[in-house]
Structure 1
């Protein structure tokens, strides 16, 4: 979306000041999905409908595994049937059309709106259910290592700003929220001590930041993997879950973190 990174930066700034520990999404917020398509023609719209269907099912349920189910193929082929309404937004709005570029190939945000009863029925067919509970704010305790450069991602330092923006962007599709601790709120935990810190201690620190619980992780750059190795931890209902992504961009590492957290908190188990 145009200006989204600037919006995310502003949102992240607000989150640093103290985020609410959780919120309940309204049906209007929950039962919609967005994707990027080229132009507004019918063929690409149908592709967009398929992508939005997968996204809304994961958004409502919190379960990222749904997209891998064999039953999804038949649903994707009928994706247009489930859309209540849709709208476009030109991502290049305000930018003049170039001589060689017509409106047919300009990128657009396609937003699809769905009736809750329709989506809930599809989830039932997939053996899932809506996640209507409170979406808790997570405090991110993250260590980063790239060669000789290593640090804890905090709210009050210039370094890591791009990562903070990226993490905030990753929360949007699942209506999650994150916040980041200030250096003084780490209680002396540095990049060496943080990965070994007990989740109960981190959950308590998260409450001090204004969040409901902690999402702990580390990302390490790997020349061999040609990307980041990301490890994540989150405690829920007396159990600590761990999951990993390898050879990914830090954008994808953060999406993996948020999707995994949503899957756990929605009661769908191990990411």
Structure 2
């Protein structure tokens, strides 16, 4: 495949900003938009090519902001040719530092596969799909999410261990969609009724641009997170609902919807 490049991820930068106690985050560089990451087993060619295909779809969505491309039947003919769009890739062993205990060695170890794609080829493919690259500066997105599980409710914040899993999932979802994220601190969220479906967004995150409000409630009967989302953009209030088996998947879809609105690709 030629050269490999070590690529950096928005989530890493987000984490540093949050640890430093900052409300703002660095903007995603254009080159980051044309890269994606997935998890593969081993470093074999077959799994690598499958990873390329998954990353290609992610990059087409991330560059354009058009989440409606997810699962688009027109992409099926592109997936087997994904390697033609790749300019570099890199592996990171998730079990780095841990000894190998079997004769299979690295074949069954999980790796983060990071893939970089050719800008011109991605842009040309998007044109064929009827969408455009979203290359204008992307404003930092304020995200205020409340979680309700039974009688327990809490706000996802940047500096409290109670919401570590949800915070990390939101950061990963933002990186996947090419968005910069701002989460409230515990102090900013103080006094907010976590069980309520609305919140004084601008008072909590005055430095953010558009603000996404989300409320997730676990439904025992459906074994799913039922969520309601809203965001104002260009004077229009957008509302949408999602059902997801995991909050990770729900966050990815919700932020995909936000990106779709902000990029001018329509409602979620």
Which string of whole-angstrom CA distances, capped at 9 and with x for unpartnered residues, describes residues 201-260 of structure 1? 63x33552x211211010111101112111111111111112222142111221122111
Q: After the TM superposition, which parts of structure 1 deviate over 6 Å for at least 4 consecutive aligned residues? A: none
> Residue by residue, what CA displacement relative to the aligned partner does 1:152-182 show, whole Å, maximum 9, x if unpaired?
3334544223222221122111221222223
Quick check: 1:206–1:214 contact (8 Å CA) kept in 2? no
Coordinate RMSD, CA, aligned: 2.5
1:101 matched to 2:83? The reply is: no
What residue number does 2:203 align with? Answer: 205
The range that moved more, 139-148 or 57-66, is 139-148
Report the counterpart of residue 234 of structure 1 in structure 2: 231
In structure 2, the residue matched to 1:67 is: 70
Query: Retained in 1: the 8 A contact 2:144–2:213?
Result: yes
In structure 2, distance between residues paired with 1:9 and 1:158: 16
3-state SS of 1:17 partner: coil
Secondary structure of 1:243's partner? strand
Structure with greater proportional helix content: 1
Query: What CA distance in whole angstroms lies between the structure 2 residues aligned with 1:133 and 1:16?
Result: 27
Specify which of 226, 249, 254 is matched with residue 251 of structure 2.
Answer: 254
* Among 218, 221, 232, the residue aligned to 1:224: 221
Count of residue correspondences: 259
Q: What does residue 37 of structure 1 align with? A: 40
1:263 matched to 2:266? The reply is no
Q: State the secondary structure of the residue aligned to 2:52.
A: helix
Gaps of 5+ in 1: none
User: Does structure 2 retain, via aligned residues, the 8 Å contact 1:15–1:178?
Assistant: no
CA shift for structure 1 position 100: 4.1
- Rate the CA distance shift 1:229–1:105 in 2: closer, same or farther, 3 A: same
Residue in structure 1 matched with residue 123 of structure 2 by the alignment: 120
Tell me the SS of whatever aligns to 1:128: coil
Question: What is the DSSP-based 3-state SS (H/G/I as helix, E as strand, rest coil) of the residue aligned with 1:93?
Answer: coil
Gaps of 5+ in 2: 1-8
Whether the aligned pair in 2 keeps the contact of 1:8 and 1:165 (CA below 8 Å) is no
1:88-143: CA deviation from partner (whole Å, max 9, x where unpaired) = 22222221111243222222222221221110000001111101012222222222
Q: 1:74 to 1:211 in 2, by over 3 A?
A: same
Q: From the superposition, tell whether residues 155 and 45 of structure 1 become closer, same or farther in structure 2 (CA, over 3 Å).
A: closer
CA pair 92-151 structure 1, distance change in 2 beyond 3 A: closer
Decide whether the 8 Å contact of 2:30 with 2:135 is kept in 1.
Answer: no
Contact 1:58–1:64 (CA under 8 A) maintained in structure 2: yes
Q: Normalised by the size of structure 1, how large is the TM-score?
A: 0.85
TM-score (norm 2): 0.86
Contact 1:186/1:205 (8 A) holds in 2: no
Q: Which moved more, 1:74-83 or 1:122-131?
A: 74-83
Label 1:11 to 1:18 Cα distance change in 2 as closer, same or farther (>3 A): same
